[in-house]
Structure 1
Amino acid sequence: MSQTLAKETSQKDARGTEKAWKTYEAATRSPLEEHPELFHKYLPLVRSIVTRIKINLPPHIDEDDLHSVGITGLISALKKYDPKQKKSFGSYAAMRIRGAILDELRRMDWMPRNARTNFKKLRKTVDDLEQRLGRPATEDEIRTEMNLSEREYQSLMEEVRPVTFLPLDHCPGGDEGEATDLYEVIPDDTLVPVTAKMEKEELTRLVAARIQQLPEMPRKVLAMYYFEGMRLAEIAAVFGLTESRICQIHSQAIVGLRSYVTNVMSK
């Protein structure tokens, strides 16, 4: 009975949203204030995205400021969304909201200078190693190359963690259950404007092939996180590891993938 009720409620919500869109279209994109239903329906999505992004940011970044920026992204989505496109409004709105927030973070230059310097050192180390080895570098190889103890390496990975989770949210999947594309987190526009040079399909193929070369653990972590929609805590439970350790494995894998794609694009 509960399933039937949930289904009826879902169908009712869908009809309500469709009706709201028809009203919105009929008004020829009239001012948002005259059509608050859609705005208020998706307003919680802004808070959800801000909360997930904030997890990976330094404490000094004000969450309310990001929320205000996210609202501008939602308004932009309401103004520009075409109901005829295949992407659902929820997914489109999430993309616009994230985009607005990430643009603001870039403008703020939020990453501490020391963390930025250490990230560049890590990137260069991974790049040099993989060029020399002709394959993805292992954690032990990276630590040895950087002359770091296990604890120092863990500290480094925690420091650069925000860079490896952005521009993606902390949790995979859109508001309507659609998985986040792994290719979105690979480009590093501060180094190479990859998305402007390479089609999504080609980048996806390139990344997928490289993932197959990764050691078993990072390969499985990426698959569970991006393709199976599992959260870090869930992945940690599967392997009997801490969430922090899974996050470290994810971060190292993403750094390596970014380095690989950057090298390919620079040729």
Structure 2
Amino acid sequence: MATQASAHSESMSLLMNYYQQPSIKVRNQLVLLNAGLVRQIAHRIGRQCAEPYQDLEQIGYLGLIRAIERFNPHQGCAFSSFAVPYIRGEVLHFLRDKSSVLKIPRRWQELQKEGEKVRQQLTAKLGRKVRDEEIAAVLNVSVSEWRETQAAEHNRQALSLDATVGQMLDCPVTLGDSLPDTREQQRQYLEEERQQLSGAISELESKTKQAIEYVYIKGLPRKEAAKRIGVSPMTVTRHLQRGVKQLSTLLHPEEPVMT
């Protein structure tokens, strides 16, 4: 317990130092101190996908660095609670990008259609199975390109959810069994986005934060929000405009440049 308390104290001290005067040295120290958060999230997500753990861990560190660079120690929020959505979000965004649908070049799509026509014509003419070399010669392309075209077409075909992808004891594991629960994933995504938004709002100036919370979160009219904050409705509008711009920067920042 004493060791954990000491590590927490050291981490907060470094976070204060980094907030006041950012430096790569202090940032790297904070990364080492909080590496356990990255490993924990990488292990948890790694059990639900086929990506190598090492890749997930490396991507997670990018999220940790983002969290360190945006954390405000004066907001009263625990750094671990602030960092987890950034780490998890970075890994999930990586997986979403990796899972995009395979797109085949238009030339290959047309080549595949023409090749199938040629295959049928030659099969009827020769009365036997047609070789790739014969089809490629008629199409006036190399054999390797024709085979790449066929492989691309085959790889984008949808698999049956009943297709066996593994074995557990005496029971086969189908593709459907291995797919993640989409409802649970959606719930996790929403929670991730909620935490990121909450963390970003906590970094706003007091009255700007109040304006955002009263109008956009609680749904109060701007006149009512103005009364509660103690400013004019026009000032509330200015706070809202400023707040939306700041939130956009916090939630969708440029890649950080450290010197």
Give the TM-score taking structure 2 as reference length.
0.42
Larger Rg: 2
Highest RCO, 1 vs 2 (Cα 8 Å, sep ≥ 6): 1
Give the TM-score taking structure 1 as reference length.
0.41
